[in-house]
Amino acid sequence: MKKVWWKESIVYEIYPRSFYDSDGDGIGDLNGITDKLDYLEELGVNVLWLAPVYQSPNDDNGYDISDYRNIMKEFGTMEDFDRLLSEAHKRGLKIMMDLVANHSSDEHAWFAESRSSRENDKRDYYIWRDPVDGREPTNWGSSFGGSAWEWDEATGQYYLHCFSRKQPDLNWDDPRVRMEIYDIMRFWLDKGVDGFRMDVINMISKPETFTDAPYNGGRYGSTGAVVANGPHVHEYLQEMNREVLSKYDIMTVGECGGTVPGDAARYANEDGSELNMIFQFEHVNLDGGKYRKWAHDPMDLPKLKKNLAKWQTELRDKAWNSIYFNNHDQPRVVSRLGDDSPESAKAIALGLYCMQGTPYLYQGEELGMTNYPFRGIGDYEDIESIGAYRELTAAGTGDPEEILKSIAYKSRDNARTPMQWSNAPNAGFTKAEPWYPVNPNYIRINAESQQKDPESVFHFYRKLIGLRTKSEYKDLLVYGGYRLLIPEDPAVYAYLRVYENRAALVIANLSAERSHPELPEEVKACFRGKTAVLRSRGTGVFQDAELEPWEAAVYIAEEKTECLC
Ligand code: TEU
């Protein structure tokens, strides 16, 4: 397996709107990120993924871009961006931008031209279709509720928008569109940007013919089922790689919902002809229910462990994994897999981030920031949550209280509350009225108090990151093999990592109860008496004893490990 810097990196996603407000308008900004680079350097991450910072009307908080070559006014200026990039590089921090190329904003100049007339030269930059039997061309639903088709009276056709009606899908089958996107990528890479996270990149190649999609509990067909992994997606990514990516030493990760390991082995293959890695969604969809993600059932740990193990083993030597449970679209993992306690935050982190693959942290995860205490639909800002409530209640099949409970548990707004810097008003995020409410638990959960507390979640993450990036066990944790242990245990996630003569036992009690896992004899023999190189709590010496609630540890062995392979 080739060794390379992006496999050995730890990525930290920043949602700029909620990170730090330096100019007192209640909205996070680029200078605010620059002001916090020392904090990120102390944490030990080495790549910063910026959620979109381009000009946008913010219908979907920046994922609707109206000008790909200019900075969103609320976030600052291009000079502010250049300063952030320069200051990050001075600290050895790389910057990864968020490329949103499946769709633009309807306020982009391209769409203004495309919609102006059927004969306009840019008409085919987007996807227009005639009505079928006087209505939408297919039954496809938007991810944000309603139909994926919007009627345009002026030209008598519908345009496709897999997301909001203000996010028209670009037509990647038109080579001019592809060349426009490649030019935009070169613009940012020539400024020194270190890579791209690519938004829903496996949706860019639409099917040759548009037919109805299967229903999945909603009023509309499931668009993802017919649009993901389209007929030309690999052709287009290989072209992007030849035209742009292969010419720079950068990192790329494609957001690819609806993929299985076989797909990832193509998108993120080791021969480097497409992307470095992908975000797949199987593990974060396991606790879905009748309404897809909108459920609040607890995660079934044996199901989760087997799914994680499947990706660890089936990509081995074929493609590279990303490891995540948090981002700007996911609820807080300490509320989803833990019990909001700092102990559970540490145990989850150790269990997740000792696996093979590049870890992706999300702002505030390193503090154990939790879900927000929503009171009702009026508390939400996210277009997806509001759309889901409208869609689910309109369908008339669910109890509104149950629906609200599910939305509270899974809403993307849980991840978008302002970063909690201190116990000052508004958690030190802003001196103005914040664009979105701060989680009231900031008094207890904030960076300033945790930086002073060596036992805090922050310092646990810092030590865990150091284990993967600076310690003598770096190659073991980055490149080592993986073997799942005790798959049926309902509470404990345990696995081995093996590299040359070294082995690591990673064991995490992901429950609030004491637990006594039945590890295989050969494993116990190999690690008995070893002292943990990192532990969340407990004695730190491996013995065949009960684990405390949320006890997690990493043990290393360097002899008799051959029996573990
Ligand atoms: O998300 C893709 C997507 O499918 C989202 O609906 C996401 O997977 C879902 O919310 C998780 O349950 C990307 C961006 O990450 C998201 O923020 C954007 O809203 C979306 O694309 C459109 O650009």
Residue 546 designated active-site: no
438: closest CA among 19, 73, 34? 19
Within a domain: residue 175?
no
- What is d(CA 271, CA 274) in angstroms, rounded to the nearest whole number? 8
Per residue in 26-85, pLDDT tens? 999 999 999 999 999 999 999 999 999 999 999 999 999 999 999 999 999 999 999 999
pLDDT at 403 (0 to 100): 92
In sequence order, what are the residues at sequence separation of 6 or more whose Cβ sits closer than 8 angstroms to the Cβ of residue 199? 63, 98, 99, 100, 101, 102, 255
Within a domain: residue 166?
no
Please tell me whether residues 250 and 343 are part of one structural domain. yes
306 neighbors 479 (Cβ within 8 angstroms): no
Please tell me whether residues 275 and 306 are part of one structural domain. yes
Q: Tell how far the Cα of 263 is from the centroid of ligand 1, in angstroms.
A: 19
Please tell me whether residues 403 and 523 are part of one structural domain. no
Please tell me whether residues 216 and 67 are part of one structural domain. yes
Within a domain: residue 182?
no
Bridge partner residues of 290 (DSSP):
none
75: closest CA among 24, 16, 14? 16
Within a domain: residue 184?
no
- What is d(CA 151, CA 128) in angstroms, rounded to the nearest whole number? 10
Please tell me whether residues 357 and 446 are part of one structural domain. yes
97 neighbors 188 (Cβ within 8 angstroms): yes
- What is d(CA 106, CA 166) in angstroms, rounded to the nearest whole number? 5
Instruction: Check if 365 has its Cβ closer than 6 Å to any atom of ligand 1.
Output: no
One-letter amino acid of 225: A
pLDDT at 1 (0 to 100): 78
Instruction: Check if 410 has its Cβ closer than 6 Å to any atom of ligand 1.
Output: no
Within a domain: residue 307?
yes
213: closest CA among 270, 136, 271, 158? 136
Please tell me whether residues 240 and 366 are part of one structural domain. yes
143 neighbors 162 (Cβ within 8 angstroms): yes
Instruction: Check if 329 has its Cβ closer than 6 Å to any atom of ligand 1.
Output: yes
Q: Whose CA is nearest to atom 6 of ligand 1?
A: 143
Q: Which of 200, 203, 293 for mutating ligand 1's site (highest number of atoms within 8 Å of CB)?
A: 200
280 neighbors 256 (Cβ within 8 angstroms): yes
Residue 199 designated active-site: yes
Which one from 13, 64, 169, 199 is the annotated catalytic residue?
A: 199
Instruction: Check if 23 has its Cβ closer than 6 Å to any atom of ligand 1.
Output: no
Please tell me whether residues 87 and 57 are part of one structural domain. yes
Q: Which of 97, 98, 142, 143 for mutating ligand 1's site (highest number of atoms within 8 Å of CB)?
A: 143
Q: Is 375 helix (H, G, I), strand (E, B) or coil?
A: coil
pLDDT at 545 (0 to 100): 81
Q: Is 515 helix (H, G, I), strand (E, B) or coil?
A: strand
Q: Tell how far the Cα of 67 is from the centroid of ligand 1, in angstroms.
A: 20
* Number of domains within the chain: 3
Q: Tell how far the Cα of 559 is from the centroid of ligand 1, in angstroms.
A: 46
pTM: 0.98
Please tell me whether residues 39 and 78 are part of one structural domain. yes
- What is d(CA 211, CA 279) in angstroms, rounded to the nearest whole number? 27
Within a domain: residue 173?
no
Q: Whose CA is nearest to atom 18 of ligand 1?
A: 63
Please tell me whether residues 459 and 486 are part of one structural domain. no
In sequence order, what are the residues at sequence separation of 6 or more whose Cβ sits closer than 8 angstroms to the Cβ of residue 113? 120, 121, 122, 125
What range does the domain containing 515 cover? 481-564
pLDDT at 119 (0 to 100): 98
Which one from 60, 136, 180, 255 is the annotated catalytic residue?
A: 255
6: closest CA among 39, 43, 41, 46? 46
Q: Whose CA is nearest to atom 7 of ligand 1?
A: 329
Ranges of residues in the chain with a pLDDT under 50 are none
Q: Whose CA is nearest to atom 10 of ligand 1?
A: 329
Within a domain: residue 290?
yes
Cβ–Cβ contacts within 10 Å for residue 130, how many? 8
Compute φ and ψ for 146, nearest 5 degrees.
80, -170
Q: Is 417 helix (H, G, I), strand (E, B) or coil?
A: coil
Please tell me whether residues 277 and 201 are part of one structural domain. yes
101: closest CA among 296, 275, 221? 275
pLDDT at 49 (0 to 100): 99
pLDDT at 538 (0 to 100): 86
Q: Is 201 helix (H, G, I), strand (E, B) or coil?
A: helix
In this structure, what CATH number is given to the domain that contains residue 487? 2.60.40.1180
Q: Which atom of ligand 1 is nearest to the CA of 102?
A: 23
Please tell me whether residues 136 and 98 are part of one structural domain. no
- What is d(CA 55, CA 105) in angstroms, rounded to the nearest whole number? 10
Please tell me whether residues 555 and 505 are part of one structural domain. yes
pLDDT at 194 (0 to 100): 98
In this structure, what CATH number is given to the domain that contains residue 155? 3.90.400.10
Within a domain: residue 472?
no
- What is d(CA 269, CA 213) in angstroms, rounded to the nearest whole number? 29
